[in-house]
Amino acid sequence: MSESVDDRLLGKLQELADRADEINQLLIDPAIASDPIQCVALSKEAGKLRRLVQPYLEYRTLSDERDEAQSIIDDVDQDSELRELAAEEIKDLCLQCDERLDSLKESLVTSDDANISSVIIEIRAGTGGDEAALFVRDLYTMYLRYCERHRFKFEVIDQAGSDMGGFKEIVLNVKGDGVYRHLGYESGGHRVQRVPETESQGRVHTSAVTVAVLPEPEEIDIDINWDTEVEEFVSRSGGPGGQNVNKVSSAIRLVHKETGITVSMRDEKSQHKNRAKGRRLMTARLFDFHQSAANQERAAARKTMIGSGDRSQRVRTYNFPQNRCTDHRIGLDLYSLEKIMQGEIDVLVKALQTHDKEQRLASL
């Protein structure tokens, strides 16, 4: 008989509990206690495990109490009052066990994502010219409204405007508890179908925008030698006029030699500020690059559900004539496009989170 999802889940949690016990023993070993580097690494691992192991141990205590109550109920030789008392307790114990188990399922499969409290979002115009640039602006507004509703901190890192008031591209930083669990599903191609502002005959046009959501963990194991591994180019900023634009070379372009990853930053008047922002964005892109290469198996598993995060993959269509928003990854149609464009995307996010959790549990 094959193991159930719950059996695999509890087996995995027991492995983590055993590892936590092993770490605790290692930390009291004099040889390891005298090694600060190893001590810090083990302490950090123990801290991450504690968030899963402690709830698991609490679940196991409840499970033991439930099983003990069930054995009393099943024992016909037991005192009748004791059996009745056990029968009353077991309902509450079963309910608590089920709730704890559901919580553990979500925690186990989403713990890595839930720990990421800062993301960089890049939105770029694709096919469609000015109309695509206008939709970049609309998506930017949608995410801004969503972040305001959830009290996430929101910062524009870089932007390049278009002639009609849209954006050719815009780069944002969003911070907040578990923000990657909320916005990580937005990566990919977003298609819009509507009558453009420049269309005089009322014809519906199709344009495309790409979105990339890059996790920005507090601890990024990316060591970059900015002097030898990255080429830096300095130039004058483009954009609206002004003395600074004409006289000061403040725009920065960084090229990572090994991967070819390029970052351009021109939003600030200060060269130092542009350099700092550019390095931050470069670090996030390199982290994403290495994570994608290291986690190909996981990415392949997730591709069947929420997509690979590749900008070329179409993930959503916004059809204005039909007031319809379609998420192609889960086949969800919502006929409330006006509300969605005002940042009310909670239904979409929740549906993607639920489906993602189910897929990850199935692959345990």
* The residue type at 175: K
Predicted pLDDT at 297: 47
Residue 285 is predicted with a pLDDT of 87
CATH fold of 230-293 reads Double Stranded RNA Binding Domain (3.30.160)
Q: Which among 119, 210, 128, 131 has a CA at the least distance from the CA of 164?
A: 131
The CATH number corresponding to 5-113 among 1.10.1060, 3.40.50, 1.20.1070, 1.20.58 equals 1.20.58
CATH 1.20.58 residue window(s) in the chain: 5-113
What average pLDDT does this structure show over 175-198? 91
In sequence order, the 6+-apart residues with CB closer than 8 A to the CB of 97 are 59, 62, 63, 66
The string of DSSP codes covering 103-169 is HHHHHHHHHHHHT--EEEEEEEE-TTHHHHHHHHHHHHHHHHHHHHHTT-EEEEEEEEE-TTS-EEE
What pLDDT is recorded for position 238? 57
Domain with CATH 3.30.160.20 in the chain: 230-293
Report the alpha-carbon distance of residue 275 to residue 264 in Å, rounded. Answer: 9
Distance of CA 184 to the CA centre of its chain: 3
Helix (H) or strand (E) holding 19: helix 5-27
**Range from 116-120, 122-126, 214-218, 283-287 carrying the lowest mean pLDDT:** 214-218
Cβ-proximal residues to 331 (8 Å cutoff; 6+ apart), any chain:
none
- The pLDDT of residue 293: 64
Cα–Cα distance for residue pair 340/309, rounded to 1 Å = 21
pLDDT score recorded for residue 296: 55
Please list the residue range(s) of the chain that carry CATH number 3.30.70.1660.
Answer: 117-221+309-362
For residue 303, what pLDDT band results from cuts at 50, 70 and 90?
very low
What 3-state class would DSSP assign to 217? coil
What's the pLDDT score for residue 304?
Answer: 41
Residue range 117-221+309-362 in CATH 3.30.70.1660:
yes
C-alpha span between 277 and 51 (Å, rounded): 32
**Contact 190/318 with Cβ under 8 angstroms?**
yes
Q: Kindly report, residue by residue over 239-275, the tens digit of the pLDDT.
A: 444 444 445 678 899 999 999 999 998 877 788 889 9
